[in-house]
């Protein structure tokens, strides 16, 4: 006679689960989720205030009024509205990629910048490239909505090389996360 | 046959020179050696030592790339020495004048290897290493005065840490030992509070006060009084350890004074622009005003209660722009008593705590050009020294 045996049921479930998965598989899925995370606008910074966005020239900062979208090796490139440091695009990397041998910091400070082509505000993650000495080329310092150390995620002076092998700062990228 | 014109040989030249020297000696009537005794060899070399630190000294952090803190005497314009330090380190001065403390981070293999965080202690007289106090971490950032502060008349140090959670490491300087880590979520920029611990500015617009003596630190917060995202307080503010008072300045130029203590009190703000008789500034785009700014834009003279603020004209969100004028603000009287125009915009300002104070300014450096250090008479604005290639990051002077 079959009796209710939660222990056996649990074992069966776990065995089935274990047979159909691997540690690597879980790691891969977790990794995918981690990599994909920045694609979703998971950091709704300034969302509330962006409810009724006014993108007229009168509402834009000096930086936004003068920003361009053609040359990402110049400080006035639109994504750099709150960047600070050397541009990775001048150091052998790209606007969103580290130069050879440098390591992307998994965390970053953020900015909300307006694209001059479509007038939309985008959330930009300024991810430092780490593990090499200071590039010291194309030094830029965008200060739109940049605040002080007690709001570190909006402060661009902090060395954001957390979670990397080395905390030596090399240069900064400007990764587009999504619309703000 | 072509004759090859050869160069005179070395021996010929030597002979000619020797003859000339002899002839000169004869012409002079007396050999040169008899005119005066020859110079004596230098004695065994010993490094120069420093006198006790003086209020006229300024310590100049040499910036993001060049490490170390250069010491200048504002009376003479001379560099006196260098307090060794790694890049992104913080300097603090022992109120007793016996030591200089450097809160720093180094790695065992240069820029890689095992990270080591410590307070490095240098003898104030010889500038030689005295000891190291290991700490479990500290923030890496440039240009801040209040990430490493000394409290309790030199007995305690507080080191701010961001990893990226926010905390403070408490260090017993007398015993040379790390004491404890205090979690401090959402707050930074430390000001020692006598008999209590420290206060810090917070992202909710409040001032947190931390009692550090007990087994479990006790954190209380004031009511929020400023907007940390719309009109933040510059984290290089004015601090008076003796009167236990802080002077806060916001991006738009609002000035608050805080009486520090277990329960701090914060004044109603006033506008620095209104105090100068010009239009108060706001946060609206396209509105051009005088704004405070720069990397270290405020210096506070404790004896007079006057703040010296770097000001520039422009729109809002230009808070890092260098100052084209220094405004001397009598904080208690809420009045700007002097405006000093600058020939070259300045990114940092300090004031010596002398009875007749001097202003120290670091000017903007161009591409590949290190900035200059200007030393002005604070009463007249007259420039006393311009030291080329001597400017830098945080400027510090001795405080009582």
| Catalytic site includes residue A139 | no
Q: Does the pLDDT value for residue A24 go beyond 70?
A: no
Six-digit token string for B206: 């409040």
ipTM of the complex: 0.88
Q: Is residue A109 annotated as part of the catalytic site, yes or no?
A: yes
Give the domain ranges of chain B: 230-400
CB-nearest to B317 from A145, A158, A161 is: A145
Contact B235/A150, CB-based, under 8 Å? yes
**Pick from A147, A158, A165: CB nearest B232:** A147
Contact B201 A157 (CB under 8 A): no
User: Is there a binding annotation on residue A5?
Assistant: no
Confidence band of A6 (pLDDT split at 50, 70, 90): low
A62–B111 CB contact, under 8 Å = no
- B65 vs A136: CB contact, 8 Å cut-off? yes
Q: Which residues of B touch A128 (CB under 8 A)?
A: none
Q: Mind listing the pLDDT tens digit for each residue in B203-229?
A: 999 999 999 998 899 999 999 999 999
pLDDT at residue A7 in the model: 60
Position A53 confidence tier, pLDDT thresholds 50, 70, 90 = low
Q: Tell me if A177 is assigned to a ligand binding site.
A: no
pLDDT value at residue B369: 63
CA separation for the pair B249, B226 (Å, rounded) = 10
CATH domain B230-400 topology = Methylamine Dehydrogenase; Chain H (2.130.10)
* Binary contact (B64, A134; C-beta < 8 A): yes
Cα distance from A95 to chain B (closest Cα, Å)? 22
- Measure CB to CB from residue B285 to each of A61, A152, A162 and give the nearest one: A61
- DSSP-assigned letters across all residues of B40-58: PPP-S-------S--TTEE
Residue B146: CA count within 13 A, CB half-sphere: 25
Distance from CA of B305 to the nearest CA of A (A): 25
Mean pLDDT of B75-95: 96
Q: Which CATH code of 2.60.30.10, 3.40.50.300, 3.10.129.10, 2.40.50.100 fits the domain covering A42-179? A: 2.60.30.10
Distance CA B123, CA B121 (A): 7
The verdict on a CB contact (< 8 Å) between B229 and A147 is yes
Determine the Cα–Cα distance for residues B369 and B387; give it in Å rounded to an integer.
13
> What is the band of B34 on the pLDDT scale with cuts at 50, 70, 90?
low
Residue A139 is assigned to a ligand binding site: no
- State how beta strands B265-266 and B245-249 pair: unpaired
Distance to chain B for A8, nearest Cα, Å: 44
Identity of the residue in B141, B201, B285 whose CB atom sits nearest the CB atom of A158: B141
Q: What is the mean pLDDT of residues A42-59?
A: 59
Query: Residue B4: pLDDT above 50?
Result: no
Mean pLDDT of A29-34: 46
Q: Give the number of other Cβ atoms within 10 Å of residue B76's Cβ.
A: 12
Least confident piece of the model among A124-128, B45-49, B368-372 = B368-372
Q: Is the pLDDT of residue B314 over 70?
A: yes
Nearest CA in chain A to B285: A61
Whole-number Å distance between alpha carbons of B136 and B299: 31
Nearest by Cα to B377 from B395, B351, B349, B345: B351
Residues whose CB is less than 8 angstroms from the CB of residue B160 and which lie 6 or more positions away in sequence, other chains included? B138, B139, B146, B147, B148, B166, B167, B168, B188, B189, B190
Burial per residue of B287-326, b for 16 or more beta-carbon CB atoms within 10 angstroms, e otherwise:
eebbbbbbbbbbbbbbebbbbbbbbbebbbbbbbbbbbbb
Torsion sign over Cα B112, B115, B119, B120: negative
Q: pTM for the full model?
A: 0.85
Per-residue model confidence (pLDDT) at position A10:
53
pLDDT of B324 over the 90 cut: yes
Greater confidence, B92 or A17?
A: B92
Are B201 and A148 in contact (CB < 8 Å)?
Answer: yes
For residue B200, give the H/E element and its range: strand B197-202
Q: Is A112 a residue whose pLDDT tops 70?
A: yes
Tell me what percent of the residues of chain B surpass a pLDDT of 90: 84
The closest of B347, B304, B357 to B326, measured between CA atoms, is B347
Region B361-388: mean pLDDT is: 87
Q: Looking at chain A, which residue has its C-alpha nearest residue B319? A: A143
CB pairs under 8 A between A and B: 97
Candidates A135, A138, A122; CA nearest to A73 is A138
Average pLDDT over residues B339-358: 96
pLDDT higher than 60, residue B259? yes
Q: Of the residues A78, A128, A144, A160, which is catalytic? A: A128
Domain range summary for chain A, segments of one domain joined by +: 1-39, 42-179
| DSSP 3-state of B77 | coil
């Amino acid at each position: 006679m079959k009796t209710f045996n939660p222990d056996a049921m649990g074992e069966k479930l776990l065995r089935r689960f274990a047979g159909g998965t691997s540690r690597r598989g879980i790691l891969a899925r977790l990794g995918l989720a981690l990599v994909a995370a920045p694609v979703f606008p998971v950091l709704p910074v300034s969302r509330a205030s962006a409810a009724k966005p006014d993108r007229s020239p009168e509402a834009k900062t000096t930086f936004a009024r003068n920003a361009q979208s053609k040359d990402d090796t110049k400080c006035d490139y639109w994504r750099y509205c709150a960047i600070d440091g050397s541009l990775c695009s001048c150091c052998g990397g790209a606007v969103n990629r580290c130069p050879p041998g440098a390591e992307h910091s998994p965390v970053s400070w953020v900015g909300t910048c307006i694209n001059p082509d479509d007038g939309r505000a985008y959330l930009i993650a300024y991810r430092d490239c780490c593990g090499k000495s200071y590039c010291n080329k194309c030094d830029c310092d965008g200060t739109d909505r940049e605040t002080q150390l007690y709001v570190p995620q909006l402060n661009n002076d902090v060395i954001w090389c957390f979670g990397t092998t080395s905390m030596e700062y090399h240069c900064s990228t400007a990764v587009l996360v999504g619309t703000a | 046959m072509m004759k090859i014109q050869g160069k005179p040989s070395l021996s010929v030249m030597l002979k000619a020179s020797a003859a000339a020297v002899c002839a000169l000696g004869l012409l002079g009537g007396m050999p040169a050696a008899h005119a005066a005794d020859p110079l004596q060899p230098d004695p065994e070399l010993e490094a120069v030592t420093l006198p006790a630190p003086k209020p006229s000294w300024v310590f100049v952090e040499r910036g993001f790339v060049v490490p170390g803190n250069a010491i200048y005497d504002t009376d003479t314009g001379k560099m006196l020495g260098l307090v060794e330090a790694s890049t992104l380190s913080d300097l603090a001065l022992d109120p007793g004048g016996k030591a200089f403390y450097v809160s720093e981070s180094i790695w065992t293999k240069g820029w890689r290897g095992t990270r080591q965080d410590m307070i490095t202690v240098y003898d104030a007289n010889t500038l030689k290493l005295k000891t190291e106090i290991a700490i479990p971490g500290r923030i890496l950032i440039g240009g801040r005065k209040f990430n490493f502060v000394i409290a309790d008349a030199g007995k305690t140090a507080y080191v701010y840490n961001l990893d990226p959670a926010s905390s403070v490491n408490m260090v017993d300087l007398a015993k040379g030992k790390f004491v404890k880590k205090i979690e401090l979520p959402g707050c930074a920029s430390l000001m020692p509070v006598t008999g209590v611990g420290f206060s810090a500015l917070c992202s909710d617009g409040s001032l947190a006060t931390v009692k550090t003596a007990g087994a479990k630190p006790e954190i209380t917060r004031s009511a929020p009084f400023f907007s940390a995202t719309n009109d933040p307080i510059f984290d290089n503010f004015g601090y008076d350890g003796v009167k236990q008072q802080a002077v806060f300045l916001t991006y738009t130029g609002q000035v608050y004074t805080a009486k520090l203590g277990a329960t701090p009190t914060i004044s109603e703000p006033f506008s620095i622009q209104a105090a100068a008789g010009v239009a108060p500034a706001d946060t609206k785009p396209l509105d051009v005003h005088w704004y405070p700014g720069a990397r270290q834009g405020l210096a506070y003279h404790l004896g007079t209660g006057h703040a010296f603020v770097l000001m520039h004209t422009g729109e809002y969100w230009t808070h890092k722009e260098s100052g084209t004028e220094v405004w001397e603000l009598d904080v208690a009287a809420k009045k700007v008593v002097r405006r000093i125009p600058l020939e070259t915009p300045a990114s940092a300002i300090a004031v010596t705590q002398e009875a007749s104070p001097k202003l120290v300014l670091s000017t903007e450096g161009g591409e590949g050009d290190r900035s200059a250090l200007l030393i002005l008479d604070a009463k007249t604005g007259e420039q006393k020294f311009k030291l080329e290639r001597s400017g830098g990051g945080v400027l510090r002077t001795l405080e009582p």
